[in-house]
């Protein structure tokens, strides 16, 4: 098996000692070359390692694998599963069963995925050593980037990174998002000095649990060091735009602090104050400059104006995040948008080896050491995904899954992973398309997440949840002898933060008009009915704006159908789309809106699963 780059210091991937950057870059490229060249052998070895070390676990014994570690037997015997299939085992672990159910190594914590099941976040078991694997992938990113944009070691990155709330399972394991787990780990906190992970935000500002204080202090530090900043970013595009919006709201206060070298009293976390004070010095000249820029009527190009040496924006704009590309282009005067990696709570998958390509051309090379990857072929006809909802059960269907090195150029697949932490043939739910190869390893375009209708930030709402939310809200209209005869939805990202818009056509048989407050209640009922990731985005992260209902005049949905038929849809097969994205359709709907209403307050949300709190 090709050797991973040598660890350094605390083992955080490719550390840099004594500024030997070239050496680090060379080792990263050698590693990528090795594992992509020998992708098949590496994958077989990964599977064998996972099955050998977990031969005693209950899950594999249940399927009578009997210690066999070859791919053929594994594929014949072990079923392809969804989260729901694994839920009973996951619940046992969450409730405190410490026996080796999925993995022989102790489950160190649960990573709470933004995918949901029964309205709650999915819980992904993980083990300590996975942190090393994640670190390794991170350590490959900058050597790749440096090939295309040299000199990044001569300045800093202004990244808006945040931790989110944590909860404990009834059995006492931590449950938190994967990035919170990573930022709190020694791999991140105690990373050795490395020009590639030299950020404007001190660790304390990133680790501050109060999102206002965290954002304020990170922006303040980023502004104070504006000339040193060579790249800016956040994990997802939505998070970066939120930071710009925050700046729009708070630049007066930020400038006041920069002018006087003082820190606003709302920032009361002692460790944050201490860390910011190390950077903040009175700088009236800088404050004047920022003030003048922010006062200008247009914020077009604000990034390049305030951080003039910025070479690119590092944010994910693939998948649903592509809806934010125009806004980012506006704020940055068209700086390159760079998508560096593809990862999830289940497993970190791979990286983009051509990071300066256009967002529409981004493809990710899966790194064969991260997990054992399989691929379920998908046929999407006319943009509709046709993969079976349930796991394939019979042997023939099992065999349909292909290995990493056997995928075909241009074909779409659903990703299936077997991880070191104890997921076996687990359907991730992402649809990928093979766009090319790096040596023997395929490169995938991210196509979409299966069954996601609406998404603003990390929320992923499917049609079923939407239908249920509309039904709950529509019941509220019965008292007026009214009903929702048709509906569709739209993720409106023209507002910051973006918000869900529901277009409702109403059938009214009663004589009493419906008061606006009833529609506002309907907005809130829908929000209360949506999953916990949505409600967290609304109530805690403030990354999603209030849900809006737009009432459209009678006959609007007939017009929508007429439009679809004029575009070639078949009248026999026509179904009202429950989510729309296409601009002419949205224009048609908007032109027939008679009134609109917003949710008057945030829906309820508590950290941790509902059932743990009751
Ligand atoms: P989570 O489990 O909450 O960490 O979310 C992981 C999911 O986010 C993945 O399965 C993808 O659906 C999505 N995702 C992660 N990275 C990317 C990317 N680079 N492009 C598009 N979608 C991504």
Q: Is 446 in the pocket of ligand 1 (CB under 6 A)?
A: yes
Q: Is 318 in the pocket of ligand 1 (CB under 6 A)?
A: yes
pLDDT given at position 390: 44
Q: How many CB atoms lie within 10 A of CB 488?
A: 24
Q: How far is the CA of 350 from the centre of ligand 1 (A)?
A: 11
pLDDT given at position 38: 98
DSSP letter at 480?
Answer: G
For residues 380 and 392, give the distance between their C-alpha atoms in angstroms, rounded to a whole number: 18
Among residues 80, 110, 49, which one has the least CA distance to residue 426? Answer: 80
Among 82, 112, 115, name the best residue to mutate to test ligand 1's pocket (greatest count of ligand atoms within 8 A of Cβ): 115
pLDDT digits (tens, 9 = 90+) for 112-164: 999 999 899 999 999 999 999 999 999 999 999 999 999 999 999 999 999 99
Name which residue sits closest to atom 10 of ligand 1, judged by CA.
344
Handedness of CA 487, 490, 494, 499 (dihedral sign): positive
Among 178, 449, 536, name the best residue to mutate to test ligand 1's pocket (greatest count of ligand atoms within 8 A of Cβ): 449
Query: Quick one: which atom of ligand 1 is closest to the CA of 415?
Result: 10
pLDDT given at position 614: 55
Exposed (0-12), middle (13-18) or buried (19+): which is 312, by Cβ within 10 Å? buried
Name which residue sits closest to atom 17 of ligand 1, judged by CA.
342
∠ at Cα 451 (588, 74), nearest 5°? 160
Q: Is 115 in the pocket of ligand 1 (CB under 6 A)?
A: yes
Handedness of CA 398, 401, 402, 408 (dihedral sign): positive
Q: How far is the CA of 285 from the centre of ligand 1 (A)?
A: 42
Name which residue sits closest to atom 13 of ligand 1, judged by CA.
344
Q: Is 113 in the pocket of ligand 1 (CB under 6 A)?
A: yes
pLDDT given at position 9: 36
Q: How far is the CA of 395 from the centre of ligand 1 (A)?
A: 30
Res 41 pLDDT > 90: yes
Percent of the chain having pLDDT more than 90? Answer: 86
pLDDT given at position 381: 53
* Tokens 């991140």 sit on residue: 188
pLDDT given at position 4: 43
Q: Is 455 in the pocket of ligand 1 (CB under 6 A)?
A: no
pLDDT given at position 195: 86
Among residues 119, 85, 120, which one has the least CA distance to residue 102? Answer: 85
Pairing type for strands 109-117 and 426-438 reads unpaired
Query: Quick one: which atom of ligand 1 is closest to the CA of 458?
Result: 3
Percent of the chain having pLDDT more than 70? Answer: 93
Among 111, 317, 342, name the best residue to mutate to test ligand 1's pocket (greatest count of ligand atoms within 8 A of Cβ): 342
Res 320 pLDDT > 80: yes
Among 141, 182, 316, 347, name the best residue to mutate to test ligand 1's pocket (greatest count of ligand atoms within 8 A of Cβ): 316
Mean pLDDT of 521-544: 96
Res 63 pLDDT > 80: yes
Query: Quick one: which atom of ligand 1 is closest to the CA of 321?
Result: 21
Phi, psi values for residue 91, rounded to 5°:
-65, -35
Half-sphere exposure at residue 479, Cβ-oriented, CA atoms within 13 angstroms: 7
* Tokens 């349930």 sit on residue: 390
* Tokens 């070239």 sit on residue: 22
Mean pLDDT of 544-562: 96
Phi, psi values for residue 531, rounded to 5°:
-70, 170
User: 3-class SS at 196?
Assistant: helix
Name which residue sits closest to atom 7 of ligand 1, judged by CA.
344
Q: How many CB atoms lie within 10 A of CB 98?
A: 12
Q: Is 449 in the pocket of ligand 1 (CB under 6 A)?
A: yes
List the structure tokens of 391. 């796991």
DSSP state letters, 350-415: EE-S-TTS-GGG--EEEPTTS-EEEEEEEEEETTEEE--SSPP-SHHHHHH-EEGGG--TT-EEEE
Exposed (0-12), middle (13-18) or buried (19+): which is 569, by Cβ within 10 Å? middle
DSSP letter at 73?
Answer: H
* Buried b / exposed e along 105-125 (16+ C-beta atoms within 10 A): bebbbbbbbbbbbebbbbbbb
Whether 549 and 502 have beta carbons less than 8 Å apart is answered as: yes
DSSP letter at 335?
Answer: P
Pairing type for strands 412-418 and 426-438 reads antiparallel
pLDDT given at position 240: 96
Among 130, 359, 430, 435, name the best residue to mutate to test ligand 1's pocket (greatest count of ligand atoms within 8 A of Cβ): 430
Name which residue sits closest to atom 19 of ligand 1, judged by CA.
342
Band of pLDDT at residue 20, cut at 50, 70 and 90: low
pLDDT digits (tens, 9 = 90+) for 348-392: 999 999 999 999 999 999 999 999 999 999 986 544 444 444 444
pLDDT digits (tens, 9 = 90+) for 210-269: 999 999 999 999 999 999 999 999 999 999 999 999 999 999 999 999 999 999 999 999
List the structure tokens of 595. 């009134």
pLDDT given at position 511: 79
Band of pLDDT at residue 18, cut at 50, 70 and 90: very low
pLDDT given at position 571: 84
Whether 210 and 269 have beta carbons less than 8 Å apart is answered as: yes
pLDDT given at position 382: 40
pLDDT digits (tens, 9 = 90+) for 493-508: 999 999 999 999 999 8
Whether 208 and 214 have beta carbons less than 8 Å apart is answered as: yes
Among residues 259, 165, 153, 181, which one has the least CA distance to residue 214? Answer: 165
DSSP letter at 426?
Answer: E
Q: Is 359 in the pocket of ligand 1 (CB under 6 A)?
A: no
Whether 332 and 303 have beta carbons less than 8 Å apart is answered as: yes
Name which residue sits closest to atom 20 of ligand 1, judged by CA.
318
């Amino acid at each position: 098996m090709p050797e991973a780059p040598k660890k350094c210091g605390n083992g955080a991937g490719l550390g840099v000692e004594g500024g030997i950057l070239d050496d680090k870059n060379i080792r990263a490229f050698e590693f990528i070359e090795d594992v992509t060249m020998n992708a098949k052998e590496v994958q077989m070895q990964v599977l064998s390692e996972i099955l050998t070390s977990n031969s005693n676990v209950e899950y594999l014994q249940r399927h009578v694998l009997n210690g066999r570690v070859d791919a053929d037997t594994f594929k014949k015997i072990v079923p392809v599963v969804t989260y729901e299939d694994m839920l009973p085992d996951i619940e046992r672990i969450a409730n405190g069963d410490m026996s080796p159910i999925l993995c022989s190594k102790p489950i160190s914590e649960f990573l709470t995925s933004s995918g949901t099941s029964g309205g709650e976040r999915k819980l992904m078991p993980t083990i300590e050593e996975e942190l090393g694997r994640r670190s390794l992938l991170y350590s490959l990113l900058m050597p790749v980037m440096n090939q295309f944009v040299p000199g990044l070691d001569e300045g800093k990155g202004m990244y808006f990174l945040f931790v989110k709330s944590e909860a404990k399972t009834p059995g006492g394991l931590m449950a938190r998002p994967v990035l919170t787990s990573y930022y709190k780990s020694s791999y991140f906190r105690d990373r050795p000095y490395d020009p590639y992970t030299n950020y404007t935000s001190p660790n304390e500002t990133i680790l501050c649990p109060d999102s206002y204080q965290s954002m304020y202090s990170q922006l303040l530090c980023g502004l104070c060091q504006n000339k040193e900043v060579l790249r800016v970013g956040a994990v997802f595009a939505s998070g970066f735009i939120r930071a710009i919006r925050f700046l729009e709201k708070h630049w007066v206060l930020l400038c006041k602090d920069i002018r006087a070298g003082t820190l606003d009293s709302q920032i009361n976390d002692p460790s944050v104050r201490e860390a910011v004070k190390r950077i903040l010095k009175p700088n009236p000249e800088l404050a004047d400059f920022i003030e003048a820029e922010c006062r200008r009527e247009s914020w077009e190009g604000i990034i390049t104006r305030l951080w003039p040496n910025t070479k690119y924006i590092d944010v994910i704009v693939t998948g649903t995040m592509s809806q934010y590309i125009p806004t980012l282009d506006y704020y940055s005067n068209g700086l390159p948008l760079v998508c560096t990696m593809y990862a999830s709570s289940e497993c970190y998958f791979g990286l983009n080896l051509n990071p300066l390509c256009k967002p529409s051309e981004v493809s990710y090379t899966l790194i064969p050491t991260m997990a054992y990857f399989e691929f379920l072929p998908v046929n999407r006809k006319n943009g509709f995904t046709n993969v079976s909802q349930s796991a394939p059960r019979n042997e023939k269907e099992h065999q349909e899954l292909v290995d990493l090195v056997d995928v075909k150029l241009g074909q779409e697949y659903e990703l299936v992973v077997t991880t070191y932490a104890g997921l076996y043939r687990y359907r991730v739910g992402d649809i990928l398309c093979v766009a090319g190869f790096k040596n023997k390893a395929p490169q995938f375009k991210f196509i979409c997440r299966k069954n996601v209708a609406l998404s603003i930030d990390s929320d992923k709402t499917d049609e079923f949840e939407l239908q249920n939310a509309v039904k709950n809200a529509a019941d509220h209209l019965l008292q007026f002898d009214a009903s929702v005869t048709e509906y569709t939805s739209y993720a409106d990202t023209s507002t910051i933060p973006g918000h869900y818009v529901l277009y409702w056509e109403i059938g009214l048989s009663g004589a009493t008009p419906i008061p606006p407050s009833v529609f506002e209640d309907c907005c809130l009922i829908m929000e209360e009915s949506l999953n916990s990731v949505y409600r967290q985005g609304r109530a805690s992260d403030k990354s999603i704006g209030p849900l809006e209902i737009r009432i459209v005049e009678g006959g609007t949905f007939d017009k929508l159908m007429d439009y679809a038929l004029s575009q070639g849809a078949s009248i026999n097969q026509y179904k009202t789309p429950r989510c729309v994205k296409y601009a002419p359709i949205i224009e048609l709907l908007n032109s027939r809106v008679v009134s609109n209403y917003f949710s008057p307050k945030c829906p309820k949300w508590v950290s941790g699963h509902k059932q743990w709190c009751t």
